[in-house]
Amino acid sequence: MAKKSFRQAINEALAQEMRRDPRVVLMGEDVAGGQGAPGEDDAWGGPLGVTKGLMPEFGRERVLDTPITESGFVGAAIGAAATGLRPVAELMFVDFMGVCFDQIFNQAAKFRYMFGGKAVTPVVIRTMYGGGFRAASQHSQCLYPLFTHIPGLKVVIPSSPYDAKGLLIQAIRDDDPVMFFEHKMMYDDMDEVPDEPYTIPFGEANLTREGDDVTVVALGRMVKIANEAADALRKQGVGCTVIDPRTTSPMDTDSILESVEETGRLVVVDEAHPRCGMAADVSALVAQEAFRALKAPIRMVTPPHTPVPFSPALEDAYLPSAARVIEAVRATMA
C-alpha cells in the first residue's frame, strides 16, 4: 500500500468524494487561492496546501474561495447543505470559530430537532487545531470540547492519515453536520493509506495498543504520545490499552468502559483545555458507569488552565508529553 501524508489523505478523500458526488463542493479562504490575482490560480490550497490541486480539477464552481467572512460562508455552507448540496467548508483555524459559531451551533446543529425532523444538513466543517506550531494563543487551541458539548453536532478527530481519509469520507457521506479536526502538526505524518475510497464509521474507537494494566484514552495528536508512552511502559513491564475514540460525538463509550472493566485504571490524555474538556468528559463517564471496576483514582493529562503561550520554551512545557503520560500511568499503579 502507498505511504501517504495526512495532508495527502485529506486531499485524496476530498477529490474522490467530489468525483463521486457532484453535490460535494468546497469553500473557504484561499482553499484554491489567487482569486482575482494576476499570478497563479490555485496559488495556495489553504495556508498549508491541503486542498491544492482540487480547483484545477473541479473548477471554481466547486472549489470556492471566499472573502474573510466566516459567518457568511460557513452559514452559506450550512444553508447549501439544507437545500441539496453537500458542502465541505474550511474554517482555517478552529480558533476563528468565535466569529461564526452561531451558524454552527444554533443553526446547523439544531435544524433537524427544531424543525421536527424535517431538515437534513449534511455539511462538513474542516478545521485546524492544536499546539506545537509556535502560533500563540489565537492559533493553537483545540476547542473540540465546545463542539462536543452541543447536541446535533458530530465531532471527528483523526489521529492518523489512514483514519483521516476514512473518517473524512464518512463525514462527507454523513447526513448530519460534522466538525472535522485536523492537527496542524500532523500534516506531514506518513501512513499506509489505500488508494480506493473507504469509510470508517463514527463512534467506533480504535485500540492502538493493548495491555492489561491501565486504560489510556487519547485523542488526535495525543494518540501518538500515548502510544509512545505505552511502548516505553511495555518495556518496563506495564501494559497499557490505548483507546483512540476517533470521534467524540458520537463517542464509543462501550470500548472505553469495557477496557476499564478489565484494567481498573484510567488515564485520559487530551490537548484541550482541562475545564469542561474531553479529559473530564471521559473521566466522568467512567466514574459513573465503570466505578466498581476502578482500582485507583483516574488521572488526566492535559495542559494547565492557561492560554497557549508563544515562546517555544513555554509551549513545550504547556503541551502534554509522553513523560507526563508515563508518570500518570505509574500514579494509577501506585
Ligand X SMILES: Cc1ncc(C[n+]2csc(CCOP(=O)(O)OP(=O)(O)O)c2C)c(N)n1
- Sites of contact with ligand X (CB under 6 A): 29, 68, 70, 92, 96, 99
Q: Measured from the CB atom, is 130 or 152 closer to its own copies?
A: 152
Q: Is the N-terminal amide bond of 250 cis, ω within 30° of 0?
A: yes
Quick note: the x/- pattern for its own copies over 223-262, rule CB under 8 A, is -------------------------xx-------------
By CB atoms closer than 10 A (0-12, 13-18, 19+), residue 266 is buried
Q: Which of 22, 49, 151, 201 binds its own copies (CB under 8 A)?
A: 151
Q: How far apart are CA 91 and CA 180, in angstroms?
A: 10
Q: Which of 19, 20, 138, 275 binds other proteins (CB under 8 A)?
A: 138
Residue 242 Cα distances to 205, 214, 256, 261, 332, angstroms: 10, 9, 10, 14, 15
Site for other proteins in 67-126 (CB under 8 A): 67-85, 87, 95-96, 98-99, 102-103, 106-107, 111-120
The stretch among 35-43, 54-62, 137-145, 162-170 that binds its own copies (CB under 8 A) is 137-145
Q: How far apart are CA 42 and CA 35, in angstroms?
A: 8
Q: Which of 228, 289, 321, 330 binds its own copies (CB under 8 A)?
A: 289
Strands of the sheet containing 299-301, edge to edge, are 206-209, 240-244, 214-218, 266-269, 299-301
In angstroms, what is the minimal distance from the CB of 249 to other proteins? 8
Look up cell 489565537; give the residue. Answer: 138
Q: Where are any strands of DSSP class E within 77-204?
A: 86-93, 124-129, 154-156, 178-183, 190-192
Q: Measured from the CB atom, is 2 or 201 closer to other proteins?
A: 201
CB 221 within 8 A of CB 187: no
Query: Could you say which of ligand X, other proteins, its own copies, none residue 119 binds, taking C-beta under 5 to 8 angstroms by partner kind?
Result: other proteins
Q: Which of 21, 57, 175, 188 binds other proteins (CB under 8 A)?
A: 175
In angstroms, what is the minimal distance from the CB of 70 to ligand X? 6
Site for other proteins in 202-231 (CB under 8 A): 203
What one-character-per-residue DSSP string does 265-331 give? -EEEE-SS-STTSHHHHHHHHHHHHSGGG--S--EEE---SSPPPSSHHHHHHHS--HHHHHHHHHH
> Mapping DSSP to helix (H, G, I), strand (E, B) and coil, where does residue 208 land?
strand
Output phi, psi for 241, to 5 deg: -95, 120
Q: Measured from the CB atom, is 64 or 97 closer to its own copies?
A: 97
Query: Is 139 in the active site?
Result: yes
Count of residues that interact with other proteins, criterion CB under 8 A: 86
The stretch among 11-19, 217-225, 308-316, 323-331 that binds other proteins (CB under 8 A) is 308-316
Q: Which of 2, 276, 284, 317 binds other proteins (CB under 8 A)?
A: 317
The stretch among 49-57, 169-177, 188-196, 285-293 that binds its own copies (CB under 8 A) is 285-293
Q: How far apart are CA 217 and CA 311, in angstroms?
A: 28
Q: Which residues are catalytic?
A: 139
Residues that bind its own copies (CB under 8 A): 71, 95-106, 109-110, 113-114, 136-138, 145-146, 148-152, 248-249, 272-273, 275-281, 283-289, 291-292, 294, 296-300, 304-307, 309-310
